[in-house]
Amino acid sequence: MPDIKFFKDDSKLLDLLNKKILVDKKNTAAEIQDILYGKSYHSSIATHCEKRIICRILDKSSVINEGLILQAEYNNRLKLKWANFFKYDDSIEIVQENEPCTDCKNNLVGTIDLVVKIQNTFVVFDFKSVNSDVFTKVVNNGPLKSDVVETMLNLWMVDLKNGVVLYEDRTNMESKYFHIRTYNPILNSIFDKCAKMDKCVIQDSIPEKPYKEESSECKICNFKNDCWTQKEK
């Protein structure tokens, strides 16, 4: 495991969770919830391409990311399962579920999956349902950058100090979780990114492409065809 300042896979908080969390193999039904990003930047902004975000905000792309909708359904089912589990533990108090959060200064929005209180400590949970390949990567290398930053931003917006990103392998329901705390250099880099995109929105301009067409980022982007036929202003 790399030596990183802002996340841990071994802490007093996680030890406490280990004592509370039992193996729960029960599938939980869930309804698909609509996700509206509006004209703000979602807290999962960390690894998102600026051009794709601005084109979506300025209505210059008709691309619908069906993968995001499906992933949201997976994550919602996982969130409901763990929330139901926590409700049976008298030592864990569920404070909030599906709580919207905002930062008007940086035009950021997000949703807190779950806030619980454990021994007078408030903890923000972010649940991620992933395939086996991603789960193995997370176990070996730590949480994904985009998930760490999303949790940091959500913590920032609700002024709390402790977050947990919980990954579950949706093929076998194994789980791995990490204790996240905010880290100002990372937060400031995201705020700078937001400021640059605000300028593009105000000027109704499309930012330059941050990647090359043959890059791995572009290859997996469902906006690729539109992106490479548009001209930046």
Nearest residue to 168 (alpha-carbon basis) of 71, 97, 96: 71
% residues pLDDT > 70 (the chain): 70
pLDDT attached to residue 81: 84
7-19+41-227, which class in CATH? alpha beta
Query: Is residue 205 within 8 Å of residue 233, measured between CB atoms?
Result: yes
Q: Cα(105)–Cα(197) distance, rounded to whole angstroms?
A: 13
Q: Cα(59)–Cα(100) distance, rounded to whole angstroms?
A: 24
Split at pLDDT 50, 70, 90, the class of 152 is very high
Split at pLDDT 50, 70, 90, the class of 119 is confident
Question: Among all chains, which residue has been given the structure tokens 């193995």?
Answer: 136
Where do the structural domains in the chain lie, given as residue ranges? 7-19+41-227
pLDDT attached to residue 220: 67
- pTM for the whole structure: 0.72
Tens digit of each residue's pLDDT (9 = 90 or more) over 27-78? 332 222 223 334 556 666 666 677 777 666 666 555 445 455 556 777 778 8
Query: What are residue 200's DSSP bridge partners?
Result: none
Identify the burial level of 212 via C-beta atoms within 10 angstroms of its C-beta, where 0-12 means exposed, 13-18 middle and 19 or more buried: exposed
Q: Is 184 helix (H, G, I), strand (E, B) or coil?
A: helix
pLDDT attached to residue 22: 42
% residues pLDDT > 90 (the chain): 26
| DSSP 8-state secondary structure symbol assigned to residue 233 | -
Q: Cα(77)–Cα(82) distance, rounded to whole angstroms?
A: 9
Of 4 and 164, which is predicted with more confidence? 164
